[in-house]
Chain A
């Protein structure tokens, strides 16, 4: 059978659910909030139809949801969780100890604007709340990559060298509610890629008698615990994540660069940079400008934590200007820029010749259109031509009214 025929038309939600089934997850904790709801629905119907055996817990809130997977993971189960927007924030208390307890929970964040009650547009601020506490964070481009990323996430998170929780961020409805062709991996490839989870020290009275997440006196052991996570994150960056994606490419033939995807970068003077689903729009714009002989390129970060600083520095070393297409905001931050913008700036600070960096903030959940992106690109090209730093590097896009 041809590969094209084996492809399934799956929404991102369905693709994620299929990945969870392929990973043979033991415990799923669910509580509805859109756009994540589609994933829990897809999982529920799989279990109802008998296609998939797992403990499916409908919790009374996101807080219980994250607690449930934390504890299930501590006894040695492979777990899956997810949420969106303010629901995710309600679950964050448990998320902190999940990381400190080095429990390889895998979750999805269907990115959603933080309330404004009723705002279900796409913003990254909910997912980015996790950025400092020891979760590995990856942004998927489409349903196919979301599926692959879930499997790679379990492999990375459960690696004894890492043991960190991991989430995949989905750019809201742009992935969860959009169907596109997905090629499911072969069963034996998944089995080879993702062996069953063997926890180092499960909470199991039959094996070792241990306590987890005990009281920690700050003066005695607090700093050491943080350092353990720091080193785990470094190992994920330097060894485990690159190896996982290399193996996945060898097995399935679907090759991904581990941390960063780029288009037309080789001779690009200006580069647009983003994460997630809207990178497709950036690539469209790059093609359009290349048709007009304008040297534009684009970069898509696949991981935000660990942040691929070295890769990025190498990629933009001959670039004049970088425009960050960012769906987050960070009010009162340096330059009043967004989160990704300030992260990129920090990552590139110690370059010998730093490119000009502009920030295009698409906050508030309003859909980003191609004319908006054209406008941002023209601003970037104009700033690059002047050869010096733009007077106003941070621009709020799609906002009605003066951008002061």
Chain B
């Protein structure tokens, strides 16, 4: 589809993690689309069906689309040229700010020029903007950033988020329609009051970003040519070394497009769903799963008695034996190590908290560790 065909659409992407966020994203999307219907527009909402958010902490995306795109479900990657799609991006779990999306894309890939980023977090908007520049944007963007601490308004984060979203979408959706749709969907008065309070409090910060200011853009433009030449060999006949090379490139690709180009074609696959692992003692670059993590284990070496329990219990083999240390490429943040740790030498720290105190160099190091796996 050509993006000019979709100019009349109001398109909201909602990002979260895990099964609870799935239900919440669905609820938010339903309220947004119901409000659109009350305003006399066509509407649809749907999840990315290829996400697997029923697995703990894996990222997910819901879309709410107001207006009629002409086909049943329209996905951002169908729109050409890529970009100019989303009116608002809502983030239910702030650790998404330092990871790729469920589609291994950047959070702000494809936003419209006048669009908004709404994040459920206690961080200030200017720190969110710093993270956006580091991790989430590779294009020009004149938009708004809103941070909202949803739990301040209601135990269910849905309502705080709806209030803030309604604020930034005011031009497209009347707030009265949002309230009507909450009532129509059977929400109680305390929930509606929470939405109203959050709507009133929301204070969008204007942002004007140039692509050159953003790290992902610089990373991408430096690598595109190099990747193109490597991906030219993507084809038969089957060759193990070529397969490993392509897999590694796909694992490290800085953008969604480059990653797709590096994904092995069928001619390059070994017969029979085979995955080649590393040598004993090494870990498989094809299965880096750190993107599922919102809390990370942090070790206090002064308390560690070197009992190796964390190494034994880690279900992902992400803790090295000697010396005990966590490989953050593979840690999914399940927290089992901190639970079994007798002397409480391992504590779980939120990803953003771990970043907050870090200097520029450290942030980049962590980012590299978070680069997503091939498949």
Contacts and interface: CB of A to CB of B under 8 A. Distances in A.
Interface in B235-275: 263-266, 269-275
Interface residues of B, number: 20
A224 B279 contact: no
A225 B275 CA distance: 12
A213 to B, nearest CB: 5
A334 to B, nearest CB: 27
Contacts of B266: 223-225, 227-228, 231
Given A219-B50, A220-B375, A221-B375, A209 B279 contact: yes
B271 A210 contact: no
A109 interface: no
Contact of B269 (A211, A212, A228): A228
A97 B272 CA distance: 9
26 contacts: A97-B273, A101-B272, A101-B273, A102-B271, A102-B272, A102-B273, A160-B271, A200-B270, A201-B270, A201-B271, A201-B272, A208-B276, A209-B278, A209-B280, A210-B277, A212-B273, A217-B52, A218-B50, A220-B263, A220-B375, A221-B264, A224-B266, A224-B269, A225-B266, A231-B266, A232-B271
Contacts of A163: 271-272
Contacts of B269: 221, 224-225, 228
A331 interface: no
A234 to B, nearest CB: 13
Nearest to A209: B277
A225 B375 contact: no
Given A210-B276, A227-B266, 9 more contacts: A101-B273, A102-B273, A160-B271, A208-B276, A209-B278, A210-B277, A220-B263, A220-B374, A221-B269
A162 to B, nearest CB: 9
Interface in A91-127: 97, 100-103
A214 interface: yes
Interface of A: 97, 100-103, 160, 163, 200-201, 205, 208-214, 216-221, 223-225, 227-228, 231-232
Contacts of A100: 272-273
A228 B273 CA distance: 10
A198 to B, nearest CB: 13
B372 to A, nearest CB: 11
Contacts of A205: 280
B274 A212 contact: yes
A162 B135 CA distance: 45
A231 B238 CA distance: 13
B264 A224 contact: yes
Interface in B344-375: 374-375
Contacts of B271: 102, 160, 163, 200-201, 228, 232
Nearest to B282: A209
A332 to B, nearest CB: 26
Contacts of B279: 209
B273 A210 contact: no
A221 B263 contact: yes
Interface string B68-106: 000000000000000000000000000000000000000
A28 to B, nearest CB: 22
Interface string B277-304: 1111000000000000000000000000
Q: Which of A200, A209, A218 has the most CB of B within 10 A?
A: A209
B64 to A, nearest CB: 21
B276 A209 contact: yes
Nearest to A224: B266
Nearest to B374: A220
A332 B362 CA distance: 65
Contacts of A212: 272-275
